[in-house]
Structure 1
Amino acid sequence: MKTIKILRIQTLIICLLILFSSNAQTYKSNSWSANLYLGASNMMGDLGGSNFIGSRGVFDYDFRATRLAVGTGINMNTGAFSLGLNLLFTRLAGNDEYSAQDFQVDRNLCVRTDLFEASFLTEYRPFSRTKGFNRFYVYTGIGGIYYQPKTKLNDDWIKLRTLGTEGQYFDDGPGPYSELDVVIPYGLGYKFRLAKSTSLILDLGFRKTFTDYLDDVSTVYVDPVLLASSNGIESPILSNRSNTPKVIGDERGNPDKDDMYFLLGLKFEYILGGKAGDGCYYNRNPPKTRSTKINQRKMFTR
């Protein structure tokens, strides 16, 4: 399954590069832009959220778990496409206290996850030649994240990965989950031109991950005695904070759904070279069409 996912990701990267490369060759000059990002993030995982157990996309959204997100990026723009490198930091959150479902309220878990993201994105403006709509864009790409789930105990924030709260460090356990993961970013946005070289951008983005441990919750409850002897006394305390007794093997999370998160924010963009145009990056040397060549011949024959 992991191999199939990797192959799909590699195929996506190749397709995006081919699309961008073929478009870039059509134009003789490109423009560069830099941006600063300020927005909000929300995690859709096993904790808190709506009335679902496990992530159900945007339907698992809970406003109280919204946190700040900041970032920066640089883009090479050509024609209707642009290729960019972006960096982002956010602190995701999840809390069973926010849920309306009895199962989650009783489970009584909470988490905050510091997350760093680096991504390569390809933007496409499908209406680049239509005035009034040429500022709209969609995007996708490939990225990587480093994340660190923590929870609160006696006013201290404790790293959860090293505690193996679901038996990851048992002799026959699955092993610890990685702090690194691949993400597939996708989304859409709209550019509001402020001046010749500056724009304000409204951006909505989603991040598909390949881990179910952004919130450190995925499978079942394990033996607390074995957990304490294997990982220390804090591990069983933070693994099971329920108000009712749990049996080994009882459901703790939903391993069938990977976690995801989404972002909504504003970008301030500055054009480093070229002309901002009307939300698109008009090229100073557009390709000559047949009609253009005919008109040029007429001018020289007069």
Structure 2
Amino acid sequence: MQKKLLLLLLLATGYMLRAQTTEIGVTAGAAFYRGELSSDNFLDFSAIEQPALGFQVRFSPFTRFSGRLEGLYAKISSADENSANVPGLNFQSTVYDAHILLEWNMIDANFGPSTGLTPYLFGGIGGIYFESQTEFQGELIDLQPLGTEGQGIDGYDDKYNQLNAAIPFGLGIRFWLGDRISLLVEGSTRFLFTDYLDDVSGRSVVYEDILLGNGPTAAALSNPNIIPGSDEATQPYRRGDSRNDGLYFLNLTLTYRTDGGRMGIKVRKNCPTF
């Protein structure tokens, strides 16, 4: 499924690049994570270490529809270093997000100040690449190679893939600041196919298996509350649940029109519209 979505993303990108570029934009905002280690607050601004940054290129063949290529860079982290099942876990992840989107303007837009405010919906396909780390003994350590849930050991899963497909969707409002410049305010989410943004899932594991198979560092970071050699070390436990993680963005984008004329072609009244 993920490979098919990524292939579709590449094919659609190649098709759109054949069209004339009409807008370019730079993005700044905030990224939020929901998972086993997130706080109870849905949008926890206290967990933001730095803004999410990105760029976008928009193609607008019609006044109702636009195609868009976008890339984002963000960092997410646990807010309170607590898990429902294993207290004491913490993480931070660097996320690279790229996608292709179809935008639907809710009103017929002339792509200029005369339009006023333009609300729109968008959705598409894309992918994310993430690198998760944790602080251990004063150092930041990459988590995926360790196998903190027994990845790579006989009887356990292989190491999880850091490159995953994603389905983005959201809504926004466009404010025109001049003939060519506009400000976009957007909220969006990603439907993800991974539960490992935080390196934690609902997989049942045994501390002693991880200690013997992947080493003491992987075992300590799997569950810092278990003492090697204790009865707990031979009992299975789960660090999280089976739900995939969530990724959300609140962004501001400043765009610039590269042409001086009208961007969109209005669909004739006798033609089907959406």
Does TM, scored on the shorter chain, surpass 0.5?
Answer: yes
The residue aligned with 2:76 is 92
For 2:58 and 2:67, how far apart are their aligned partners in 1? 5
SS in 1 for 2:59: strand
SS in 2 for 1:203: strand
Deviation at 1:125, TM superposition (A): 0.3
Say which of 230, 248, 251 aligns to 2:235.
248
The letter of the residue matching 1:176 is K
For 1:160 and 1:37, how far apart are their aligned partners in 2? 29
For 2:226 and 2:208, how far apart are their aligned partners in 1? 18
Do structure 1's residue 167 and structure 2's residue 157 form an aligned pair? Answer: no
Structure with more helix by fraction: 1
**Matched ranges for 1:223-234 at <5 A:** 223-234=206-217
Determine if contact 1:64/1:98 at 8 Å carries over to the other structure. Answer: no
The letter of the residue matching 1:90 is A
The letter of the residue matching 1:142 is I
Deviation at 1:34, TM superposition (A): 0.2
Deviations 1:95-154 (A, max 9, x none): 44467xxx35x5211110111111001111022269877611110000011111110012
Say which of 233, 239, 253 aligns to 1:267.
253
Determine if contact 2:34/2:245 at 8 Å carries over to the other structure. Answer: yes
SS in 2 for 1:110: coil
Determine if contact 2:36/2:201 at 8 Å carries over to the other structure. Answer: yes
TM normalised by structure 2 equals 0.82
For 1:282 and 1:109, how far apart are their aligned partners in 2? 50
How many residues were matched structurally?
257
Instruction: Give unmatched runs, 5+ long, in structure 1.
Output: 22-28, 51-58, 291-302
SS in 2 for 1:78: coil
Deviation at 1:84, TM superposition (A): 1.1
Q: Percent identity?
A: 28
Instruction: Give unmatched runs, 5+ long, in structure 2.
Output: none
Deviation at 1:73, TM superposition (A): 1.1
Determine if contact 1:36/1:73 at 8 Å carries over to the other structure. Answer: yes
The residue aligned with 2:26 is 36
For 1:231 and 1:172, how far apart are their aligned partners in 2? 13
**Matched ranges for 1:36-55 at <5 A:** 36-50=26-40
Deviations 1:187-238 (A, max 9, x none): 0111111111000111111111000111100024533333123222210111
The residue aligned with 2:244 is 258
TM normalised by structure 1 equals 0.75
The residue aligned with 1:239 is 222
Do structure 1's residue 146 and structure 2's residue 92 form an aligned pair? Answer: no
SS in 2 for 1:228: helix
For 2:104 and 2:233, how far apart are their aligned partners in 1? 51
Deviation at 1:251, TM superposition (A): 2.4
The residue aligned with 1:109 is 89
Residue 251 and residue 133 in structure 1: after superposition, are their counterparts in 2 closer, same or farther (change >3 A)? farther
The letter of the residue matching 1:47 is L
SS in 2 for 1:229: helix
The residue aligned with 1:212 is 195
Residue 288 and residue 86 in structure 1: after superposition, are their counterparts in 2 closer, same or farther (change >3 A)? closer
